[in-house]
Structure 1
Amino acid sequence: MLKSKPLPSQERLNEVFKYDSETGYLIRKGQSGHAGCINKRGYWQVYCDGVLYYAHRLIWKMHYGDIPKGMTIDHISGDPSDNRLSNIRLARVEENNLNRKIYASNKSGYAGIFKSGNKFVASIGRGGVNHYLGRFDDIETAIAVREAAAMRLHGEFRRVH
């Protein structure tokens, strides 16, 4: 697991920033507009005391305190620029990885589903093991089977599309 840089204290963050709960933006006190910028991967980043941080980590600490060891912040919607409190949650790294967006090369538009000949194949991974779920005549059945497996194996961190 990657080691994250230590965050400023909760007190310091609340001295420097205010948080707009409607937009999810950090605003530097004494200024208007959001602080920071979006990086190539879509995450808001902001400087605090000369150090660059991910805004979602600062927002979490401002509102809830320290991020527990072994945990990270997950964007529920998969949109890394959406830092509203309703869209961020604590997750283990493995859970956060389950909520990744599907690859751009995915042609079906659904995680774990691809077309093979005139059939749709569904599969799901868990713990480094890929589980074959079957071949189906229509995509709707493949999606339903994949979603049921995702609910069972991944729970609230599942991603379908």
Structure 2
Amino acid sequence: MDLDQKELRRLFTYNKKTGRLLNRIDRGQARKGGLVGGPTSQGYLKCKVHQRWHPVHRLIWIFHFGQIPDGYEIDHINFIRDDNHIENLQALTPTENRERSYVNRSHQGAGVTFHKRTRKWFVRLMIGGVRRGYKGYSTKTEAIRVAAQIRALLMVN
């Protein structure tokens, strides 16, 4: 059975303060009024509905908007995988979602690498589905600052 907005609203309520779904009715071991979803090893919340596991953030999107557009994924704007406030969710194409993921990792240093031969720090980011490299910097701090500036520009556009 495909889950639609009507079925989700029959099964659950949404708490705006917490960004969590609550059971509207008893569902097997899930009791009325109880929180919906348990954590996955990747940090997302998932729950079982009609004998199938579903990511809770996708259920919340469908609960509010009726469907996920074809070819889109639901992304957490603040990169916190269990923060399912509807204001924190957005529909992105898989390419857009990968680019945001790559850009987010760069602020933690994943987009900044050290080149032993030149003894310089380089910034590498994914832009428009293409990995781009930027000139070498003398310090890691400077490279991280540049990566953050580029990331900020990408987020605006």
The TM-score normalised by the length of structure 2 is 0.80
| Deviation (angstroms), 1:113 | 0.6
Instruction: Answer whether contact 1:114 1:122 (CA < 8 A) is retained.
Output: yes
Alignment of 1:23-42 (within 5 A): 23-30=18-25, 31-42=32-43
Q: Tell me: CA distance 1:76–1:7, structure 2 relative to 1, closer, same or farther (3 Å).
A: farther
| Deviation (angstroms), 1:18 | 0.5
Match for residue 111 of structure 2? 112
Q: Tell me: CA distance 1:81–1:156, structure 2 relative to 1, closer, same or farther (3 Å).
A: farther
Identity of aligned residues (%): 27
| Deviation (angstroms), 1:54 | 1.0
Aligned CA-pair RMSD: 2.4
Answer yes or no: is 1:12 the counterpart of 2:7: yes
Answer yes or no: is 1:73 the counterpart of 2:74: yes
Q: Tell me: CA distance 1:7–1:58, structure 2 relative to 1, closer, same or farther (3 Å).
A: farther
| Deviation (angstroms), 1:51 | 2.2
SS of corresponding position for 1:89: strand
Match for residue 58 of structure 1? 59
Match for residue 28 of structure 2? none
CA distance in 1, matches of 2:134, 2:70: 35
CA distance in 2, matches of 1:33, 1:68: 29
Match for residue 155 of structure 2? 155
Question: What amino acid is aligned across from residue 155 of structure 2 in structure 1?
Answer: G
Corresponding residue pairs, total:
147
Answer yes or no: is 1:96 the counterpart of 2:93: no
CA distance in 1, matches of 2:2, 2:19: 19
For 1:29-86, what per-residue CA distance to the aligned partner results, in whole angstroms no more than 9, with x for missing partners?
1423311211111111112222221111110011112111111100112221111112
Structure 1: stretches of 5+ with no match in the other structure? 1-5
Q: Flag as ranges the 4+ runs of structure 1 deviating above 6 A.
A: none
CA distance in 1, matches of 2:145, 2:2: 42
